[in-house]
Amino acid sequence: MKQETMGQMEQTGKWWQQAVVYQIYPRSFQDSDGDGIGDLQGIISRIDYLKKLGITAIWLSPVYKSPNDDNGYDISDYQAIMDEFGTMVDMDLLIEKAAAAGIRLIMDLVVNHTSDEHRWFIESSSSKESPYRDYYIWRDPVAGEEPNGLRSIFSGSAWQLDEASGQYYLHLFSKKQPDLNWENPQVRKEIYDMMNFWLDKGIGGFRMDVIDLIGKQPDKGLTDNGPKLHDYLQEMNRASFGSHDVMTVGETWGATPEIAKMYSDPARQELSMIFQFEHVTLDQQEGKEKWDLKPLAIAQLKEVLSKWQTSLGDQGWNSLFWNNHDLPRIISRWGNDQKYREQSGKMFAILLHMMKGTPYIYQGEEIGMTNRPVQTIEEVQDIESINMYHERRAAGFSEEDIMVSINTKGRDNARTPMQWDSSENAGFTKGTPWLPVNDNYLEVNVERALADPTSIFYTYQKLIQLRKEHPLIVWGEYELIDTDKQVFAYYRRYKGEKWLVAANMSDEPQELELREKAKEVIISNNSALSLHSDKVILQPYDAFVVRV
Ligand code: NOJ
């Protein structure tokens, strides 16, 4: 992008281009009433902590009424709060208290599907003649079987037979998550009205769950990026959030930079940004499932992230993340969660937070939480892992291989309770936690992190602060530096200023040639780092940022 365009963008900059978002998975964040499940009052009690970290927005995973087949991603009432989490009064209070701390609340919008316990689906399945029948996707059997071979993302067929009517309904996730029929204008209107209900409460925007699926054409076997997807998003923008100063971020697993521009080019009036997932699929075998593992090639990571950094220009905006509630913990995944837990945690933070885009921190990432290994399937709660286990066992995979996949990629890894202190259950609950706390909580917890000025927490805090102070981080141009494959290094340039960011992504020392003199260290995770000669030795997982 040219300097002039950048200047322009900065002038017209939106709050969300300068925000750092913190994702809360409410079930696992903080319990206030001893039922072992996190809740809204628990979140309210931790707002001061989030303020101290410096984040300016929260993405709240679903808190709506739900039978919890998929931990709240199966919604039975969009305008009511899940019993375990509290009430609408608590929700209003959370919005208010967060606002008072300068934090906006981004709600999770799950409108590809509802729960099968949603009023619409109960009506829809009551009879073929119901006015709600067409809210969902019903099809007759073909030759006495499923209408076609579409598969659920949670294993098995995506079609479920309804004995009473003899028809099948579509569910791209669990059979308790029937897909809504977006071709029905009445469905779309109900959704926009519901969005306006939330916008009127003063929320900061929406994170849109699997939004790339809403234009599906199931009869053609087409699920993502369907032909009407962008028409729907433009209509949604006009009918709801377009007139509010909010941010929207779409979850779009199959997005390429070209597709990303369709969503987030400001001229198209769709979304603020999307989550692209190309980098988090690099340790998965080509054309296979996420469970089919292969080692990460750092060269590929550099290539993919750099491509995203440079290709959107002013026709889009990146979101930056390593973690969320569906992904394993980054330190366990591509770092070292034993000897170099702290050092690799800080390295990932520096590497990502110096990039261009809006960074997202997933709860616990800021204290270096790690995966929690399990021995048997009985210890697993996540529906995706459980369904995969049964499907693969039946297909002849070994128990051992499946458990390796689950321990590497299973979603429970990121969902263990937040580790607050060294008291029982890490201060998460006074009851029995719905999912066990990671055994390492005595070492890894917020209380300890806050007491140690060299902890990962303070690296995150400083990175957030730097972003607030330096337009270079928000707006600067990005350029990858060609280095040895284990070192990820890039420049950021803005209005005559130039920063060098470098990270050793390995367990071994690495050498980096310094082409320019380092004028000032902006941040580093190694206080002994020497930048005086033209060669820098980066110890395992060292990372630094210097002005050159
Ligand atoms: C994506 C969400 O992030 C995930 O947790 C959920 O299971 C699916 N969408 C279905 O809603």
Q: What is the pLDDT of residue 485?
A: 82
Q: What is the pLDDT of residue 328?
A: 98
Q: What is the pLDDT of residue 150?
A: 98
108 in ligand 1 pocket by Cβ < 6 Å?
no
C-alpha of residue 487 to centroid of ligand 1, in Å: 33
Q: What is the pLDDT of residue 484?
A: 79
Mutate to test the pocket of ligand 1, among 25, 70, 170, 387 (most ligand atoms within 8 A of CB): 70
φ and ψ of 169, to 5 deg: -115, 155
C-alpha of residue 73 to centroid of ligand 1, in Å: 6
C-alpha of residue 68 to centroid of ligand 1, in Å: 12
Q: Cα 351 from chain centroid?
A: 17
C-alpha of residue 388 to centroid of ligand 1, in Å: 15
C-alpha of residue 224 to centroid of ligand 1, in Å: 14
Mutate to test the pocket of ligand 1, among 210, 211, 409, 415 (most ligand atoms within 8 A of CB): 210
Buried b (16+ CB within 10 A) or exposed e, 277-293: bbbbebbbeeeeebbeb
End-to-end alpha carbon distance in the chain = 21
**Residue of the CA atom closest to atom 5 of ligand 1:** 326
179 in ligand 1 pocket by Cβ < 6 Å?
no
Mutate to test the pocket of ligand 1, among 61, 108, 209 (most ligand atoms within 8 A of CB): 209
488 in ligand 1 pocket by Cβ < 6 Å?
no
Quickly name the fold that domain 476-547 has.
Answer: Immunoglobulin-like (2.60.40)
C-alpha of residue 110 to centroid of ligand 1, in Å: 8
C-alpha of residue 37 to centroid of ligand 1, in Å: 19
**Residue of the CA atom closest to atom 10 of ligand 1:** 73
Number of H helices, E strands in the chain: 17, 20
C-alpha of residue 173 to centroid of ligand 1, in Å: 8
Counted residue by residue, the chain has a size of 548
213 in ligand 1 pocket by Cβ < 6 Å?
no
Asked whether the whole model's pTM tops 0.95, one would answer: yes
70 in ligand 1 pocket by Cβ < 6 Å?
yes
173 in ligand 1 pocket by Cβ < 6 Å?
yes
* Look-up of token digits 């808190």: 63
**Amino acid at site 314:** D
73 in ligand 1 pocket by Cβ < 6 Å?
yes
Q: How far apart are CA 444 and CA 446, in angstroms?
A: 7
pLDDT in tens, the chain (548 residues): 344 444 455 656 999 999 999 999 999 999 999 999 999 999 999 999 999 999 999 999 999 999 999 999 999 999 999 999 999 999 999 999 999 999 999 999 999 999 999 999 999 999 999 999 999 999 999 999 999 999 999 999 999 999 999 999 999 999 999 999 999 999 999 999 999 999 999 999 999 999 999 999 999 999 999 999 999 999 999 999 999 999 999 999 999 999 999 999 999 999 999 999 999 999 999 999 999 999 999 999 999 999 999 999 999 999 999 999 999 999 999 999 999 999 999 999 999 999 999 999 999 999 999 999 999 999 999 999 999 999 999 999 999 999 999 999 999 999 999 999 999 999 999 999 999 999 999 999 999 999 999 999 999 999 999 999 999 999 999 999 999 789 999 999 999 999 999 999 999 999 999 999 999 999 999 999 888 888 999 999 999 999 99
Catalytic residue positions, numbered = 209, 251
Q: How far is CA 103 from CA 24, 44, 394, 519, in A?
A: 13, 12, 48, 35
Q: How far apart are CA 244 and CA 239, in angstroms?
A: 11
209 in ligand 1 pocket by Cβ < 6 Å?
yes
382 in ligand 1 pocket by Cβ < 6 Å?
no
Can you state the angle between helices 383-394 and 399-409, rounded to 10 degrees?
A: 160
Q: Cα 491 from chain centroid?
A: 26
69 in ligand 1 pocket by Cβ < 6 Å?
no
* Look-up of token digits 């950094």: 309
210 in ligand 1 pocket by Cβ < 6 Å?
yes
| Residue 100 host element (H or E) | helix 88-100
**Complete edge-to-edge strand list for the sheet that includes strand 543-547:** 477-481, 487-494, 497-504, 543-547, 520-524
φ and ψ of 179, to 5 deg: -75, 135
Q: How far apart are CA 382 and CA 386, in angstroms?
A: 6
Name the residue ranges covered by the structural domains of the chain. Answer: 15-114+185-462, 115-179, 476-547
C-alpha of residue 209 to centroid of ligand 1, in Å: 6
| Residue 401 host element (H or E) | helix 399-409
Kindly give the number of the ligand 1 atom that is closest to the alpha carbon of 384: 7
CATH entry, 115-179, from 3.40.50.720, 3.90.400.10, 3.40.50.2300, 3.40.50.300: 3.90.400.10
Q: Which CATH superfamily is domain 15-114+185-462 in?
A: Glycosidases (3.20.20.80)
Angle at 164 between CA 160 and CA 170, to 5 degrees: 25
**Residue of the CA atom closest to atom 11 of ligand 1:** 73
Kindly give the number of the ligand 1 atom that is closest to the alpha carbon of 112: 11
Kindly give the number of the ligand 1 atom that is closest to the alpha carbon of 326: 5
